[in-house]
Structure 1
Amino acid sequence: MTMIFRPLSLARRFAVVAMACAAASAAAPVRAQVPVQESPFLAKAVSEGALPAAAGRLPSEPLVVDLPDKGREFGVQGGTIRTIFTRSRDIRYMVVYGYARLVGWTGDYELAADILREVEVEDDRIFTFHLRKGHKWSDGAPFTTEDFRYYWEDVANNPELAPSGPPELMIVDGQPAKVTVLSETAIRYEWAAPNPRFLPSLADARPPFIYRPAHYMKTYHAKYADVEKLAETMRKTKSRNWAQLHNKMDNMYNFDNPELPTLQPWVNRSESNGQRYILTRNPFYHRVDAQGVQLPYADRVETEIAAGGLVASKVTLGESDLQVRSLTFSDAPVLKKGEPTGNYATYLWSNGAGSEIALYPNMNYEDAAFRELFRNADFRRALSLAVDRKAINKSLYYGLAKERAVAPLQRSPFYSDARAHAWANYDPEKAGAMLDALGLEARDGDGTRLLPDGRRLEIVVESAGERNAESDALELVAESWREVGVKLIYRPLDRDILRNSAYQGSAMMPVWYGWNNGIPTPETPPDDLAPVDQANFSWPMWGQHFQTRGKAGEPPAIAPAQRLLELHHAWMEARDEEGREAAWNEMLDIHADQVFAIGLISAAPQPIIVNNRLKNVPKQAIWTWDPGAHMGVHRMDEFFFQP
């Protein structure tokens, strides 16, 4: 059994080899090679007839994982992995960590089939999905192309459920996909022009779930549900209408409806807004190791909700087995000291974002004078030159991070020293001269520069206030900016308030990570680099304009941003790797020159604590949102407790 991509780029050829091997292993059912071992956790339910035996729960062609080939150990089932989140809504991160995707990134950051058995791609515009025969949802119902059809016809194209129509990913040149169900296990998506973002997006940390458990969701859909039962459910849940009820029960990413069937390795068994969530193994999970043991190895995941400031101390008390979230490098000394009592080891991974900390001059800021400054590349360049990155690295990271601009990391084929250090070397004299040339030479009594209208050059930097490293770094930026006559005012906000303020133009200069994807390849979409998403704090309203197809926001107002949009389109239309690589290179060069975001530091060490008995957790790895889904690409379902 092969997995086919056409056209085949070099990266894709390599991925095909890996996927073909995995598919070949899966093609010969594991039960024909070694007996499928029954889970002790599920044995009682099997003996009572509540569940079929293990061999009957797996797809006829499961995804077989030969762990030694990946440098890992075969494990045993059992145990509970404990972790800590800081908000009830963070239970959604178990969909990120679980990382069951139609196609997903491998540990080498190449695409491979996962939930799907095989994908055929023709000219990056025709995608034929082949499902695994016998694959089931977590409640035992068949997972078939009906689940894809239901989403497309009854959700994405239902004006009551999706007033804006199908997601932007499913629209190319203004035309939606043509979706054809070929059989119970085969479905085709087709566009007239290429859609190279389609497969990579399905592998995202927060993917577009283009399927739904139709058997469950139909009970909340006016087209299928019993009218009286639906009305009664609406009354009980205090829903205004059936669409509101459907959308409430349907959120596969939020993971807060324990009744909603899933394909993830663990199933949430707890109601939302609690202080503790219990997840148990999915009896019908599609992955199995080469010795016949169904994954995940861990029977349960238990998540506790605690204040962010308490996470490190709770870890040292032995209250977490696997913890990365809410830990920063500043916690490393405390974590290291607590290893004997906490019964864990502290590893240092590397952050995979384009920058660990980045400042975003909001070019859609509501104040006209500051907006004009932020849109001037020399102003942004001057601010970048005025940052003493060496002091930040030495003070906060003991020199272990990289003093660089927002740029691809060394793991990426697009890395270059020129991009990494563009306008990023500390040069306050040059920065001051550039600010003078912009007409900002006048200063008040304390040395702060004045705008032409007489106001002080005071820049308010807004933060989500969730990372001590941000506030500490900004203190150092404030010191170095003061030397060139720029005053920095730090204002922490709630994360949601920060985002909404930026989207509306009232946030002046948000601070966040750099690009999500710091290790881009020609095949990964350049969405971080173009004004195509309001979540990019450099140009939220320009992103809104693109996302809403002109219904909201405003079009890019400066030539470099307009060119980035053209290059994004060129990447979409490119028929080969060379065309996509060319688009990426020009976009990266524009960013290096224009400094749309001011990166402070890159490749910062990220502590992760691991219970001493928990195996298969890599000691060195990259921690990044996309591509990789934080823990997801490292396959948490393969972690196990040594007996």
Structure 2
Amino acid sequence: MKRAFGLIMSAVIVFSLVAGCAPQTPQVIEKPVTVVVEKQVEVEKQVVSTVMVEKQVAVEKVVQQTVVVEKAVQQTVVVEKVVTPTPVPLTFKEAPMLAAKVAKGELPPVQERLPLEPRVVEGPTGIGKYGDTLHMLDVAALSVPHRLTDHGLLGYNIPTSEYHADVIKDWSWNADYTELTLYLRKGMRWSDGDDLTTEDFSWYWDNVLFNTELRPTGPGYPWVINGVDTKLDVIDDYTLKYTFGSPNPSILDRWGRSSMSSPGQWFWGPSHWQQKFHVGFRDRKELNAEAVAAGFAASATAEPWVAYFNSKSGGYYSGIQWGAALDMPTLRPWNPIEVKQEYILMERNPYFWYVDTEGNQLPYFDYARIEAVGDTELLNLKLTAGDADVSLWWGTFNNIELYKANELSGGYTTLIASYPNECAGGMSFNQAYQDDMVIGDLLRNIDFRRAISLGYDRQNMNDVLYFGLAEKHPAAPLKSMPWWSDTFWNEYQATYDPVKANKMLDDLGLNKRDNEGYRLLPNGQRLAMTLTGDYAYYNIQAEMIIGDMKDLGMEVIYKLLDPTAFGQSLLNNEMQLIGRLGPSRMTLFGRGYPDQWALETSGNEWGRPFVEWKLSKGERGVEPPAEITVHTDKWAEFVSVPSDSPRAAEIGKEYFQYFADQLFFLCGAGIPPQPFIIGNDIGNFPRENLVFASDNNFYHPYYPELWYRK
């Protein structure tokens, strides 16, 4: 009874918090959209201006909209885009620390460091001020530096349903979506001052993507479609064209997540830097000796220079790995100058290509320092002590009362975002498991999966982790997607019925139990399966799953691996039940990077060996059953039409219905709330329309370049 009362009181606190942080307006994005709201509102029009300076630029405002509520009726409101010329200062400005270097002759003037058309953005509180260090916290792998600073060709806006040009100035398609033309920003430079041109794309294309030593299985998806390689044509120094074997509009859905189109490891990078470590531009014997001296050895299939080159290519999620290429040119707002196990220190990029509406080159902060904290309890203590200026990633909702109680002493505010592309307590059934065929056959038995789903107490998970504030959601794309269908719900996902679940397991011949109440397999052994996770925050979810499965007479043994070991175990087909955040890629990004939805990427967990088999053309992995192959092959048609077309909705509904019915993976508590901790002295962080999503690279829509200390 005391626990129930505590939950009720906690829920009251949290509901009050959410009500105070609830978004009141649709976010304005650069393309016209239709936004459905619960109340009739008057929406401001976003103005995208052309500014008259020494260089012509386009102004984009990252703003929260003002609304006037007139009456409580539902209406569709169209957000318009208006283009009008607006004068701005004739000169650009820079941080004092860079001005000092210019004065000493160590840097060219700021107007020579910016492209002809820089990206111009404005934060929700306007113009900031230069100086100081941005302090953030992370865990040992130090992935926050990457997520904080990464920029790609495109970037998603906060709803993760529309993207904008970022590194590139613009793009265009031909009529049938087989030719994509990209337009770069003239005069844009890497952080070492070297020009960014189409050579940085063509060099990587010829020497990395289609190099059999670096890519022995070929470039793969999305560059090979229906067996046809994509062709790259360089038009001039700032224009390039990709020609695909069939329509490929979903490639932009992929690139909208900035990390999927950023330089380094994907399909472009600083050619003048990378060729220094490439065998095509060095003596092979000399380069291999250099690689060995740097600590890289030959593998069973590659010479030492291959691992050496990859270490110098950047693009790593773990900032610790940046130490191997500390002086690699980047396009980040801050570049690493110190990489240690305890922290990463980054300094402003003098060639960063963003400015504010008054011509101030961004970022505002001179430095960014990310501290690694190995223990989650210590991390929470540091968060509540105010040691982080901004924390989006590591706060957990079950600690919401702790965060709220320490706001005054810690000098911060706790905001609530929605997490639209994951499900807490997600669990996948490995359809390729072969080490124990009795267990493997159960995992592949749809009635077994249905029984487990019926015995999966999703509401309890929601109550314990999120005070009931998450949503019940099937293992399917978001309801906001054009291909959503109410039929994705079925009785096995919408219902908690352990009585029926137990009956179904009995009917499968698992009706005998040992003296501890666990079911026995036909061979007399206990029905026991291993659940493997890769992050400590899954531990509580795993405990609840263990309890639910015990009620069904199945023993679940939880195993926590670090992310690297987890990935290797998944690749080795050693897992039975895979525990992570659940069916990811539920947003538009999922069309470009499907993970669980197709056999195209390494993010697939329920059939990773199937992916290996497909990508290697049968040389590795496990051949998938014909039914799975036939269905997942339909993915090619789904991604060949524009996402906003009626045909995409039609195909998508049929395609995702298969996954809703098959239950290869389960969703626990969907669309959970996520706490943001923001220092009270941090400017230009929005207070409304907050979304926390892997699919938009977490930090990108909040423009860290615009943050400053008040």
The normalised TM-score by structure 1 is 0.89
Q: What is the rounded CA distance, in whole Å, between the counterparts of 1:370 and 1:545 in structure 2?
A: 22
Aligned twin of 2:154:
103
Q: What is the rounded CA distance, in whole Å, between the counterparts of 1:455 and 1:502 in structure 2?
A: 25
The 1:416–1:338 alpha-carbon spacing in structure 2 relative to 1, beyond 3 Å, is farther
Q: Which amino acid aligns with 1:444?
A: D
Q: Shift of the alpha carbon at 1:304?
A: 0.9
Aligned twin of 1:114:
166
Q: Secondary structure at the match of 1:78?
A: coil
622, 629, 632: which one aligns with 1:554: 622
Q: What is the rounded CA distance, in whole Å, between the counterparts of 1:239 and 1:528 in structure 2?
A: 33
Q: What is the rounded CA distance, in whole Å, between the counterparts of 1:522 and 1:532 in structure 2?
A: 11
The 1:515–1:482 alpha-carbon spacing in structure 2 relative to 1, beyond 3 Å, is closer
1:326-348 Cα offsets, whole Å, 9 max, x none, are 32112222222222222111112
Aligned twin of 2:308:
245
Aligned twin of 2:515:
445
Q: What is the rounded CA distance, in whole Å, between the counterparts of 1:549 and 1:616 in structure 2?
A: 50
Aligned twin of 1:143:
196
Aligned twin of 2:88:
33
Q: Which amino acid aligns with 1:461?
A: L
Aligned twin of 2:228:
175
Aligned twin of 1:4:
none
Q: Secondary structure at the match of 2:281?
A: coil
Q: What is the rounded CA distance, in whole Å, between the counterparts of 1:313 and 1:167 in structure 2?
A: 44
- Maintained 8 Å contact 2:138/2:371: yes
Q: Shift of the alpha carbon at 1:13?
A: 6.6
1:251-298 Cα offsets, whole Å, 9 max, x none, are 233560221000111111124x43221111111111212221222222
- Maintained 8 Å contact 2:151/2:258: no
Aligned twin of 2:7:
none
User: Structure 1 stretch 542-551 or stretch 342-351: which is displaced more?
Assistant: 542-551
397, 407, 413: which one aligns with 1:339: 407
Q: What is the rounded CA distance, in whole Å, between the counterparts of 1:516 and 1:507 in structure 2?
A: 19
Q: Does 1:396 align with 2:465?
A: yes
Q: Shift of the alpha carbon at 1:80?
A: 1.5
Q: What is the rounded CA distance, in whole Å, between the counterparts of 1:299 and 1:133 in structure 2?
A: 26
The 1:523–1:325 alpha-carbon spacing in structure 2 relative to 1, beyond 3 Å, is closer
The 1:61–1:525 alpha-carbon spacing in structure 2 relative to 1, beyond 3 Å, is same
Q: How many residues align?
A: 620
558, 561, 579: which one aligns with 1:511: 579
Q: Secondary structure at the match of 1:179?
A: strand
Q: What is the rounded CA distance, in whole Å, between the counterparts of 1:228 and 1:349 in structure 2?
A: 54
- Maintained 8 Å contact 1:15/1:111: no
Q: Does 1:362 align with 2:430?
A: yes
Gaps of at least 5 residues in structure 1 are 1-10
- Maintained 8 Å contact 2:602/2:611: yes
Q: Which amino acid aligns with 1:220?
A: F
The 1:494–1:230 alpha-carbon spacing in structure 2 relative to 1, beyond 3 Å, is closer
Runs of 4+ aligned structure 1 residues displaced above 6 Å come to 226-229
The normalised TM-score by structure 2 is 0.81
The 1:84–1:219 alpha-carbon spacing in structure 2 relative to 1, beyond 3 Å, is same
Q: What is the rounded CA distance, in whole Å, between the counterparts of 2:504 and 2:426 in structure 1?
A: 21
1:410-457 Cα offsets, whole Å, 9 max, x none, are 443444554356523111122122222222222223332222222222
Q: What is the rounded CA distance, in whole Å, between the counterparts of 2:588 and 2:656 in structure 1?
A: 11
Q: What is the rounded CA distance, in whole Å, between the counterparts of 1:314 and 1:296 in structure 2?
A: 25
1:575-630 Cα offsets, whole Å, 9 max, x none, are 7723322222112211221111121111222122111111222334221211x001
Q: What is the rounded CA distance, in whole Å, between the counterparts of 2:365 and 2:542 in structure 1?
A: 41
Q: Secondary structure at the match of 1:433?
A: helix
Q: Does 1:330 align with 2:393?
A: no
Q: Shift of the alpha carbon at 1:177?
A: 1.7
Q: What is the rounded CA distance, in whole Å, between the counterparts of 1:111 and 1:179 in structure 2?
A: 23
Aligned twin of 1:456:
526
Q: Does 1:43 align with 2:99?
A: yes
1:351-396 Cα offsets, whole Å, 9 max, x none, are 2223122111111222111111111111111111112222222222
Q: Shift of the alpha carbon at 1:314?
A: 1.4
Q: Shift of the alpha carbon at 1:124?
A: 2.0
Aligned twin of 1:7:
none
Q: Does 1:382 align with 2:451?
A: yes
Aligned twin of 1:81:
134
Q: Shift of the alpha carbon at 1:225?
A: 4.4
Q: What is the rounded CA distance, in whole Å, between the counterparts of 2:151 and 2:642 in structure 1?
A: 29
Q: What is the rounded CA distance, in whole Å, between the counterparts of 1:477 and 1:162 in structure 2?
A: 40
- Maintained 8 Å contact 1:380/1:598: no
Q: What is the rounded CA distance, in whole Å, between the counterparts of 2:452 and 2:267 in structure 1?
A: 43
Aligned twin of 2:547:
479
Aligned twin of 1:221:
278
Q: Does 1:56 align with 2:112?
A: yes
Q: Shift of the alpha carbon at 1:315?
A: 1.6
Q: What is the rounded CA distance, in whole Å, between the counterparts of 1:392 and 1:501 in structure 2?
A: 27
Q: Secondary structure at the match of 2:421?
A: coil
1:535-585 Cα offsets, whole Å, 9 max, x none, are 3221111121223233211232162x2343122122133477233222221
Q: What is the rounded CA distance, in whole Å, between the counterparts of 1:234 and 1:484 in structure 2?
A: 54
Q: Does 1:426 align with 2:479?
A: no
Q: Which amino acid aligns with 1:119?
A: W
455, 464, 475: which one aligns with 1:406: 475
Aligned twin of 2:569:
501
The 1:398–1:558 alpha-carbon spacing in structure 2 relative to 1, beyond 3 Å, is farther
Q: What is the rounded CA distance, in whole Å, between the counterparts of 2:136 and 2:49 in structure 1?
A: 33
Q: Shift of the alpha carbon at 1:184?
A: 0.8
613, 625, 629: which one aligns with 2:697: 629
1:15-53 Cα offsets, whole Å, 9 max, x none, are 89xxx9758559834897313122113121111111122
Q: Which amino acid aligns with 2:697?
A: A
580, 603, 609: which one aligns with 2:677: 609
The 1:330–1:102 alpha-carbon spacing in structure 2 relative to 1, beyond 3 Å, is same
- Maintained 8 Å contact 1:354/1:407: no
Q: Shift of the alpha carbon at 1:138?
A: 0.6
Q: What is the rounded CA distance, in whole Å, between the counterparts of 1:436 and 1:297 in structure 2?
A: 64
Q: Does 1:282 align with 2:345?
A: no
Aligned twin of 2:631:
564
Q: What is the rounded CA distance, in whole Å, between the counterparts of 2:344 and 2:574 in structure 1?
A: 37
The 1:506–1:363 alpha-carbon spacing in structure 2 relative to 1, beyond 3 Å, is same
The 1:440–1:248 alpha-carbon spacing in structure 2 relative to 1, beyond 3 Å, is same
Q: Which amino acid aligns with 1:392?
A: M
Q: What is the rounded CA distance, in whole Å, between the counterparts of 2:665 and 2:395 in structure 1?
A: 25
Q: Which amino acid aligns with 1:403?
A: K
Q: Shift of the alpha carbon at 1:531?
A: 2.7
Gaps of at least 5 residues in structure 2 are 1-28, 35-45, 59-85, 298-303
The 1:129–1:364 alpha-carbon spacing in structure 2 relative to 1, beyond 3 Å, is same
Aligned twin of 1:598:
666
Q: Which amino acid aligns with 2:416?
A: L
Over the matched positions of the two proteins, sequence identity in percent amounts to: 27
User: Structure 1 stretch 306-315 or stretch 317-326: which is displaced more?
Assistant: 317-326
Q: What is the rounded CA distance, in whole Å, between the counterparts of 2:95 and 2:650 in structure 1?
A: 51
Q: What is the rounded CA distance, in whole Å, between the counterparts of 1:526 and 1:12 in structure 2?
A: 25
